[in-house]
Amino acid sequence: MVLSGIIASPVLKANPHLRRVVIWISVIVLDKYIPESVLAIYAHPDDCEVACGGTLSHWGENGSQIAVAVLTSGDKGTSSPDVETNDLIETRRNEMESSAEILGIKKRVLFDHPDGSLRLDVAGLEESIVKLIRQERPDTVVCPDPSALFYGQRYINHRDHRVTGELVVDACSYGASSPKYFPDAGVSHTVKNLFLSASLEPDVGVDISNTLAKKVQALKSHTSQVGNSLEWLEDSVRIRAEEAGKEVGVLYAELFRKFYLA
């Protein structure tokens, strides 16, 4: 949860000609919640591992049923023009299988849209996400934060990530829970908790101190993306998790923006 409050400056309060200034204070807190069932929905084959691999593994080790949906095939995930598209798709599917086994993910759903093709108005895409949520009936959904666009001056968030997040947020906030939306997509279902990863406004952290090693191993499975020289990968993941852990008083963590929908 977010701890927030309103502070009025004493100087401003003493001056009748100045309006009160409101300051919102947000604190990132440690979230110890263990969901019964989780559905993580991401754009590309390795997105889930990067964004929440430690959290999914932590939840799974504590009894959560984990399912992951990937909206694209990963068919453009290479810097080499010589790689055959079908070979790359097959490679990335195999990498996903290896990673899922490491993280303890029992179910994967592949939508196989082409990389870069995700749009809010792609025919049937929103309904297919609503249908999946109604079929899986998770109490918790994890997805990218659609509001995150610029990360400093070195990274612009991929449109597939943003579109995925927006579609999933819409599905969780009203699409899946209202029977009048997509009436042919199954019996309505209300998601209780929504975790947005890679958020610029995180308010909760999940302790992954016991599962960071699995997150690293899962990422190593995606050789087509991270290569074979992996020392940099371990250092990068550890440093990032350590910085997040400091926010919530643990060794390693992953941060999220959390919504309580029911």
d(CA 61, CA 58): 5
| The pairing of beta strand 29-30 with beta strand 253-260 | unpaired
- Provide the mean pLDDT of the chain: 91
pLDDT in tens, 83-121: 999 999 999 999 999 999 999 999 999 999 999 999 999
Assign 231 a pLDDT band (cuts: 50, 70, 90): confident
Sheet holding 253-260, edge to edge: 29-30, 204-207, 253-260, 193-197, 140-144, 37-42, 65-72, 107-113
Maximum Cα–Cα distance across the chain: 71
What are the Cα distances from residue 172, in Å, to 117, 166, 177, 181, 244?
22, 10, 7, 12, 26
pLDDT at 14: 52
CATH homologous superfamily for the domain 33-260: LmbE-like (3.40.50.10320)
Any idea where the domains of the chain sit in the sequence?
33-260
User: Which of 76-80, 165-169, 201-205, 238-242 shows the lowest per-residue confidence on average (mean pLDDT)?
Assistant: 76-80
Whether pLDDT at 5 is above 50 = no
Which token pair is 238? 């550890």
| pTM of this structure | 0.90
Alpha helices in the chain (DSSP H): 10-14, 47-61, 85-103, 125-136, 159-170, 212-220, 223-226, 231-248
pLDDT at 1 over 70: no
pLDDT of residue 226 exceeding 70: yes
Residue 25 has pLDDT above 70, yes or no: no
* Per-residue confidence (pLDDT) for residue 186, from 0 to 100: 98
List of residues 6+ apart from 214 with CB closer than 8 A: 53, 54, 57, 102, 103
d(CA 4, CA 131) in angstroms, rounded, equals: 36
